[in-house]
Amino acid sequence: MQHKTETYTHPQKNREMIKKNIQRIIQYRMCLLKFQNLGFDRIFSYTLAQEIGVSPEQVRKDFSQFNLRGNKKAGYKIQEILDSINELLHKEDLHKIILAGLGNIGKALVQYKGFINRNMQLVAGFDIDPAKLKKNCRIPVFPPDEMARVIREEKVVIGIIAVPEQVAQEICNQMVEAGIRGILNFAPIMLKTPPDVTVQNISVCNELEALIYMTEKQEETK
């Protein structure tokens, strides 16, 4: 029997839930911007839901959880919700990010122009290959042994790992040691980190394989 009113939830699980919800919120924002650009200044939960592929109740519940309020009968004021979401995501300040590895993915990220629109900035890159140090002039690129210094000096808390699998864990350890708290990992391994460091994996191969499975499954049952 539970004595407390609030039921206990495992911190790790709880965090997964928050992450999932905030990812939906980020999607809503994408969608809100779209409708704003189309000239609308209000939107209903129903419309938003249909666009994202969830139920209207889900939208209302998500908004409610993050205290994003609408108007009865009149829906949600797009600008108002956008402002609130931006505040929620601390979009008023610039978020510095470092990048380890300037291979194919790293180079693509360096050249990507979409970060600054969303108040994110790659402040430095790191690569073992001396040839990479000058090539990409958009951001300064250092050898890996300077990473800890840069992280500390620039007070960076977010890092991207785009190095080969073999060195990914080592780079991860160095990042965490120097103060990185969130890692976007492109290496095809499960990184080991302390529980207070958040890791998000991206694997194009895995996604493609899952997609292939799904399509073939669909084909079978047709």
Partner DNA sequence: AGGGTTTTGTTTAATAATTAACAATTAAAT
Partner DNA sequence: ATTTAATTGTTAATTATTAAACAAAACCCT
In the complex, least distance from residue 72 CB atom to a copy of itself, rounded to whole angstroms: 27
Among positions 72, 111, 155, 194, the unique one binding a copy of itself when judged by CB under 8 A: 111
Does 7 participate in binding DNA (rule CB under 7 A)?
A: yes
Is 70 among the residues that bind DNA (CB under 7 A)? yes
User: Binding partner of residue 80 among DNA, a copy of itself, none, CB under 5 to 8 Å per kind?
Assistant: none
Separation between Cα atoms, residue 120 and residue 184, nearest integer Å: 14
- CB 73 within 8 Å of CB 98: no
175 binds, among a copy of itself, DNA, none (CB under 5 to 8 A by kind): none
Of 56-64, 72-80, 103-111, 134-142, which segment contacts a copy of itself by CB under 8 A? 103-111
Question: In 3D, which of 42, 20, 22, 21 has the Cα closest to residue 32?
Answer: 42
Q: With b meaning 16 or more CB within 10 Å and e meaning fewer, what string describes 48-77?
A: bbebbebeeebbbebbeebebebeeeebbb
H or E stretch at 120:
strand 120-126
Contact of 162 with 103, CB cutoff 8 Å: yes
**41-60 residues near DNA, rule: CB under 7 A:** 44-46, 54-58, 60
Q: Does 76 bind DNA (CB under 7 A)?
A: yes
CB of 222 to DNA, least distance (A): 21
Burial tier of 168 (Cβ tally within 10 Å: 0-12, 13-18, 19+):
buried
Q: Which of 9, 69, 177, 211 binds a copy of itself (CB under 8 A)?
A: 211
Q: Which of 81, 109, 151, 163 binds a copy of itself (CB under 8 A)?
A: 109
Please tell me the total number of residues recorded for the chain in this structure.
222
Cβ neighbour number for residue 17 with a 10 Å cutoff: 11
> Residue 193: what residue type?
T
94 binds, among DNA, a copy of itself, none (CB under 5 to 8 A by kind): none
Tokens matching residue 94: 């610039």
**Contact status: 17 vs a copy of itself (CB under 8 A):** no
What's the token pair of residue 207? 């996604």
The alpha carbon of 159 is separated from its chain's Cα centroid by a whole number of angstroms, namely 11
Binding residues for a copy of itself (CB under 8 A):
15, 18-19, 22-23, 26-27, 30-31, 34, 51-53, 88-90, 95, 97, 104-105, 107-109, 111-112, 114-115, 118, 120, 157-158, 160, 181-184, 188-190, 196, 198, 200, 202, 204-219, 222
Binding residues for DNA (CB under 7 A):
2, 7, 9-10, 13-14, 16-17, 20, 44-46, 54-58, 60-61, 63-64, 68-76
